[in-house]
Chain A
Amino acid sequence: MTNTIADVEKADVILVTGSNTTENHPVLSAFVKRAVEFKNARLIVVDPRRIKLAGFAHQWLRPNLGTDVAWINGMMHVIIKEDIYDRTFVGTRTEGFEELKKVVEKFTPEYTEEITGIPAQQIIDAARMYAGAKAGSILYCMGITQHTTGTDNVKSLANLAMVCGNLGIEGGGVNPLRGQNNVQGACDLGGLPNVFSGYQPVNSIDAIKKMEEAWGVSGLSDKVGLKVTEMLPKAYNGEFKALYIIGENPLVSDPDLNHAEKCISNLDFLVVQDIFMTETAKIADVVLPSACFAEKEGTFSNTERRVQRVRKAVEPPGQAWDDWKITCEIATRMGYPMSYENPSAIFEEIATVTPSYAGLTYDRIEDEGLHWPCPTADHPGTPILHTAQFPRGRGQFHAIDFIPPAEKADDEYPMYLTTGRVIYHYHTGTMTRKTDGLNERSSGNFVEITPDDAQKHDLKDGDMVNVASRRGDITAAVKFSDKAVEGTVFIPFHFAESAANKLTNAALDPISGIPEFKVCAVRLSKAA
């Protein structure tokens, strides 16, 4: 997030898109709801489902799946045409406005309506509302990123925020909500194929030299590595041989699971390090038991870049070890001794090689976490990014045209499927499904559908339905819901036994490598 969570309550307009906030980030959603109910903020929700937050919204825009660039361009068209954009901000803080203007020119409300299905007047109203804000906050999540055009979607939201001067100010910002507790930290600390910790590029000679010195090694690769979504296909055709997986369960979370399973089974050697025997661990060659968050010391970085402590409360079961210790032992046995006295010692090393974490210590974050960048020991942290300038100086507008999603509904597969989560479960369910109460509230998979669509398929609430895509099929119970919208079904992806990701499309965003989980075409039939 460019801004903090608490900042949301300071916005006078909040635009939420592609985030079912009340279910996936419940505590953060309370900030949004409080802003609306008690602080007079206006709320615009743009989401294909009638999510709970839509009930709090002044405007709910319902776009066709995968048409985000179009409605965002449509809003900017109105804002520029009506001359309600922030001229000062655009003039002094940005570049590339003319190109942007050219691209959004054709996105008249009518043209936008044609693509997105959102009535022209609603686009105009929403544009005026957002542009009218003193401080407008944009919140988004996987509903924006999990598309073949995910990177375009994110850049478009940044365009919208910049056009209205909503960056670098209290209550503003473009705020991605991180779905998993430490995604932010995994990225910050170099769990990415193209950067070391602190986003230092692996193909920069300076960065390589710095790391080689710090780590006492030579010959670090300057070649950008493979993304997870590139490793698997290479495993399938035998070019990729060995994978070490720590705490992930791609055999439920990956798109097009049938194919993913073939890829992973084709590896010469698979090591899985986890707290449970996950679907992925089951096909490993070696399984290593690790400690969970309650059993170790360390830090997590939350979605607002706040680095916070994790503390040990109980002993790990049996012989389970901390993840870092396992990895260090393997390194040592491969001839590169890695040993640390404790996580605090690792954190000290992180601070020495990671500029954005350089000023952080366990002592400083003992009571309340700090927001990175925090470059020096006396730096107070950075709750709001880009207040004076952007990392590259001026903010770059990206002129982006609309590209339709990779798969469209057709005669054979006439319905759309979109996937997500429910409040009572988390990700692939390996943790939440161990709590009986959560299972009692949400016991198994379902296909959310409108009663009308159900009737067309001769389905009643609770019937078992078979859902098929070009890649696979699953069976689950029909659930009537007022969240559902005509022509689209929703299936959560928590449930391995009828995994939604057997259906999803592995088509990738060309830049982020994120698969298009949020749109694919399916066919329904009553299960026998």
Chain B
Amino acid sequence: MSEQNRITINGNEFSFEAGETILEVARRNHIDIPTLCHLRGTVSNGECKICVVEIEGEDSLTASCSSPATDSMVVRTESPEVIAARRTTIRQMLSSGNHNCAVRGSDDRDWTQFQLNVQKEDDSSELCPVWGDCRLQDIAYRYQVSGEGFSKTDIPYHTERVNPFIVRDFSRCILCGRCVQACNEIQVNKAIAFGNRETATKIIAAGDRPLKDSDCVFCGECVQVCPVGALVEKDVRYRVRPWETEKVRTTCSYCGVGCQLDLHVKDGKVVKVSGTEDVAPNYGSLCVKGRFGFNFISSPERLTTPLIRENGEFREASWDEALDLVAKRFGEIKEKHGSDTMGLLTSARVTNEENYVAQKFTRAVLKTNNVDHCARL
């Protein structure tokens, strides 16, 4: 190991590559520095101040996500000063909006009134829609912080519900900027930005208009990266809780990119889709079809039984009857007119295994090479 590029974190020495941030070196060595705003694949903005650490010889604390490691640096990630600073930051965040989860402190006398106000705004008697699935809640729990003692600030902006996919709840936004980075640096849709309206900062789209009237294409990247309950899928909000679902990883069935996604299943139904993090080809990103276009799966219009045409009308049939009929007719036509008068169109929509079986059937059973699919179309 070279003598240069050594950093000491919490008493242990590590080597680093030039350009690595303190956070990166720590994470690589399994030292858990908490973050809220840090987003892989983008330039750190140091916005949330949760990742601060103490560097020996420096007067103030430093954001580890945006500070490069330097040689002989001595870093402490959980010193009393660091913990105190994190607690203050968390408390301010908790008290800045409708963070009505268990950590806000339910013995507070103001809680009842606070909860009633939130219920009115949200039209739900439940706790926060991402309760139990929130990075702010996690970290507040870790540092044992509640929002008590700070009176709730007034919410200057009302919740936006006027698009079919995403609810924007500004009251729960902690202005970490992850959504802005996701939209501008990952999907590069450039729909949202930090905006300064009057005095309070807000994440705005197209000169502070609703998403539906902006350049937003509803990829939902912002929803996936939002650490709190400020951006939530409309159909999921207050309807689906993570502990009620099971996740199954699969491949998107729309275009040829083949994005990896997780189907969230509740009571035998797909209720939500998210991008699978950290794997090729999409590294968590999806488009509007992959993320929101899943309702067809449980559509009442799905075909559920074989149908046979009789006197111009379809009637329901058993599998045995339908399959026997198909086999018999194929057999007759093959006999009478020859194999090459028959064919099969297989599909870009079905699996490799099914395509293989389909062409094998055409060639080995129908005895013709009249097999094609609609990729030309």
Within 8 Å by CB of A324, from B282, B309, B353, B373, lies: B353
The reply to whether A432 and B289 form a contact with Cβ atoms under 8 Å apart is yes
Which residue among B164, B263, B280 has the maximum number of chain A CB atoms within 10 Å of its CB?
B280
Interface size on A, residues (CB 8 A): 148
Q: For residue B368, which residues in chain A have a CB less than 8 angstroms away from its CB?
A: 221, 225
Q: How far is the CA of A326 from the CA of B327 in the complex (A)?
A: 11
Per a CB cutoff under 8 Å, which of B250, B296, B326 touches A310? B250
Q: Which residues of A contact B259 (CB under 8 A)?
A: 27
- Give per-residue flags for B347-377: 1 if the beta carbon is below 8 A from chain A beta carbons, else 0: 1111111111111111111011111111111
Contact present for A223 and B340 (CB under 8 Å) = yes
Q: Which of A182, A289, A333 contacts B352 (CB under 8 A)?
A: A182
- With CB as the reference atom, state the residue of chain B lying closest to A212: B364
Closest CB in chain B relative to A211 CB, distance in Å: 7
B45 CB to closest chain A CB (Å) equals 15
1/0 contact string of A143-162 vs chain B (CB within 8 Å): 00100000000000000000
Q: Are A193 and B371 in contact (CB under 8 A)?
A: yes
Shortest beta-carbon distance from A354 to chain B in Å: 8
Min Cβ gap B183→A in Å is 11
**With contacts A221-B363, A248-B349 known, is A513 near B376, CB below 8 A?**
yes
State the Cβ distance, B205 to closest chain A Cβ, in Å. Answer: 15
Taken residue by residue from 24 to 63, chain A's Cβ proximity to chain B (1 for < 8 Å, 0 otherwise) reads as: 1111101001100110000000000000000010000000
Measured CA separation A184–B377 after assembly (Å): 14
| Neighbour of B376 across the interface among A219, A227, A244, A435, CB < 8 A | A227
Q: Give the residue among B252, B337, B346, B362 with the most A Cβ atoms within 10 A.
A: B346
Q: Does chain A have a CB within 8 A of B185? A: yes
Q: Is B301 an interface residue (CB 8 A)?
A: yes
Residues in A whose Cβ lies below 8 Å from that of B350 = 182, 186, 246-247, 290, 323
* Interface mask (B221-254 → A, CB under 8 Å = 1, otherwise 0): 0000000000000100000000000001111111
Stretch of B86-94, B148-156, B328-336 on the interface side: B328-336
**Does the CB pair A191–B371 fall under 8 Å?**
yes
Scan residues 363-416 of chain A and give those whose CB is less than 8 A from a CB of chain B. 367-369
Task: Tell me whether B301 and A276 are in contact (CB under 8 A).
Answer: yes
- Known interface pairs A217-B364, A292-B297. Does A241 touch B351 (Cβ–Cβ under 8 Å)? no
Q: What residues of B have a CB within 8 angstroms of the CB of A287 in the complex?
A: 303, 306-307, 314
The answer to whether A226 and B372 have CB atoms under 8 Å apart is: yes
Cβ of B288 under 8 Å from chain A = yes
With beta carbons under 8 angstroms apart, the residue of A202, A350, A438 that contacts B288 is A438
CB atoms of B369 and A193 under 8 A apart: yes
Q: A257-291 CB contact bits vs B (8 Å, 1 = yes)?
A: 00000000000110100111100010011111110
In the assembled complex, A527 has its CB within 8 A of some CB on chain B: no
Q: A327-B357, A440-B164 known; A435 and B296 CB under 8 Å?
A: yes
Q: Is B68 in the interface zone, CB < 8 Å from A? A: no
Q: Tell yes or no: B105 within 8 A of A by CB.
A: no
Q: Closest residue of chain A to B250, judged by CB?
A: A311
A411–chain B nearest beta-carbon distance, Å: 31
Q: A292 and B296 in contact (CB under 8 A), knowing A241-B341, A313-B265, A318-B302?
A: yes
Q: How far is the CB of A19 from chain B (nearest CB, A)?
A: 11
- Whether B39 is near chain A, meaning CB under 8 Å from some CB there, is no
| Chain B residues with CB under 8 A of A202 | 363, 369
Nearest chain A CB to B242's CB is how many angstroms away? Answer: 16
Determine how close the nearest CB of chain A comes to the CB of B19; give it in whole angstroms: 16
Known: A178-B256, A288-B322. A228 touches B365 (CB 8 A): no
Task: Say which one of A71-79, A89-97, A300-308, A446-454 lies at the interface with B.
Answer: A300-308
B167 at interface, CB cutoff 8 A: no
Distance from A452 Cβ to chain B, minimum over Cβ atoms (Å): 25
Q: How far is the CB of B261 from chain A (nearest CB, A)?
A: 10
- Is there a chain B Cβ closer than 8 Å to A250's Cβ? yes
Closest to B327 in A: A333
Given contacts A26-B288, A240-B343, A368-B279, A330 and B351 within 8 Å (CB-CB): no
Q: Are B258 and A302 in contact (CB under 8 A)?
A: yes
> What does the 1/0 interface line of A211-236 toward B look like (CB < 8 Å)?
10001010111011111110100000
Cβ contacts A185-205/B at 8 Å (1 or 0 each)? 111111111101100001000
Tell me whether A512 is interfacial, beta carbon within 8 Å: yes
Interface assignment of B186: CB less than 8 Å from any CB of chain A: yes
Prevailing SS type, chain B contact patch: mixed
Residues of A within 8 A of B351 (CB): 182, 185, 293, 296, 298-300, 310, 323-324, 343
User: Given A183-B256, A193-B369, A246-B347, A286–B364 Cβ distance below 8 Å?
Assistant: no
* B344 & A224 in contact (Cβ 8 Å cutoff): no
A243 to chain B, nearest CB (A): 6
Assess whether A286 is in contact with B309, with CB atoms less than 8 Å apart: yes
A210 contacts the other chain (CB 8 A): no
User: What residues on B are CB-neighbors of A247 within 8 Å?
Assistant: 346-350
Would A186 and B355 count as touching, CB distance under 8 A?
A: yes
Most buried by A among B212, B263, B286: B263
How would residues 319 to 359 of chain A score, 1 for a CB under 8 Å from any chain B CB and 0 otherwise?
11111101111110110101010010011011000000000
Contacting pair A243 B345 (CB below 8 A)? yes
Most chain B CB atoms below 10 A, which of A182, A284, A334: A182
Cβ-defined contact, A215 with B364, below 8 A:
yes
A98 at the interface (CB under 8 A from B): no
Which residues from chain A contact B281 at a C-beta distance below 8 Å?
4-6, 27, 302, 304, 306
**Residues in B whose Cβ lies below 8 Å from that of A423:** 217, 287-289
Q: How far is the CB of A163 from chain B (nearest CB, A)?
A: 27
User: Which chain B residue shows the least CB distance to A197?
Assistant: B356
- Given A245-B345, A294-B297, A302-B257, A350:B353 Cβ within 8 A: yes
Nearest opposing residue in chain A for B356, CB measure: A189
A246 lies within 8 A of B286 (CB):
no
Asked if A331 and B307 sit within 8 Å, CB to CB, the answer is no
Q: Does B74 touch A at the CB level, under 8 Å?
A: no
Establish whether residues B355 and A228, one from each chain, have CB atoms under 8 Å apart when the complex forms.
Answer: no
In the bound complex, CA of A177 to CA of B375 (Å): 12
- Chain A, residue nearest B234 (CB): A437
- Min CB–CB distance B370 → chain A (angstroms): 4
Q: Report A-chain residues with C-beta under 8 Å of the C-beta of B304.
A: 289, 317-320
Q: A182-B355, A189-B356, A287-B307 are in contact. Are A438 and B370 (CB under 8 A)?
A: no
On whether the beta carbons of A228 and B356 are closer than 8 Å, the reply is no
* Chain A residues in 8 Å Cβ range of B361: 327-328, 330-331, 338
Docked pose: A484 CA to B110 CA in angstroms: 58
Decide if B170 is an interface residue (CB 8 Å cutoff): no
Q: Which residue of A lies closest to B164 (CB)?
A: A437
In the complex, chain A residues whose CB is within 8 Å of the CB of B218:
437, 441
Whole-angstrom CA separation of A298 from B343 in the bound complex: 24
- Say whether B188 faces chain A, with CB atoms less than 8 Å apart: yes
Known: A26-B288, A440-B164. A338 touches B360 (CB 8 A): yes
- B residues adjacent to A (C-beta < 8 A): 164-165, 185-188, 212, 217-219, 234, 248-260, 263, 265, 268-270, 279-282, 285-290, 292-299, 301-309, 314, 319, 322-327, 329-331, 333, 337, 339-365, 367-377
- 26 A-B pairs within 8 Å (CB atoms) are namely A33-B188, A178-B375, A182-B347, A186-B347, A191-B358, A202-B363, A225-B362, A228-B345, A244-B343, A245-B345, A250-B377, A269-B330, A275-B296, A276-B301, A286-B326, A288-B306, A289-B303, A289-B305, A292-B297, A294-B294, A304-B258, A310-B250, A319-B319, A330-B323, A368-B280, A514-B377
**Closest 4 A/B residue pairs (Cβ):** A318-B304, A302-B258, A178-B256, A225-B369
Give chain A's interface residues, CB within 8 Å of chain B.
4-6, 22, 24-28, 30, 33-34, 37-38, 56, 145, 177-194, 196-197, 202, 211, 215, 217, 219-221, 223-229, 231, 239-248, 250, 253-255, 268-269, 271, 274-277, 281, 284-290, 292-296, 298-304, 306-315, 317-324, 326-331, 333-334, 336, 338, 340, 343, 346-347, 349-350, 367-369, 423-426, 430-432, 434-438, 440-441, 512-515, 517
